[in-house]
Amino acid sequence: MLVLGRKAGDKILIGDDVVVTIVSAGKDGVRIGIDAPDHLRIHRAEIVDQVAAVNRAATADAGAVNGARALLGLRPAAPGASPRPADGRR
């Protein structure tokens, strides 16, 4: 990991086409601007972690549902299928 000290207005270049600009720095934190090509995805790590946790929980829930279906002698639910009442109504 590269650790740099920068001031507001300073820029950091990543490769040939990504520019990180320090917009402001203070006691509350640092604000940065990122200029990158449209094909590059830029995400906050904490949001990616939250989405992954929700996906893991959904997968675990699907496993529990299919376990219950197996106990009842039913076929496993199709991946991505939404649960329906037993009479098939929506």
Cβ atoms of 4 and 11 within 8 Å: the answer is: no
User: Which pLDDT score, from 0 to 100, does residue 7 have?
Assistant: 93
pLDDT at 56 over 70: yes
Q: Residue 49: phi, psi to the nearest 5?
A: -65, -40
Q: What's the Cα-to-Cα distance from 75 to each of 3, 56, 59, 68, 81, rounded to whole Å?
A: 54, 22, 17, 10, 13
The arithmetic mean of pLDDT across residues 19-31, rounded, is: 94
- The pTM (predicted TM-score) of the whole model is 0.59
Q: Residue 14: phi, psi to the nearest 5?
A: -120, 115
pLDDT at 33 over 90: yes
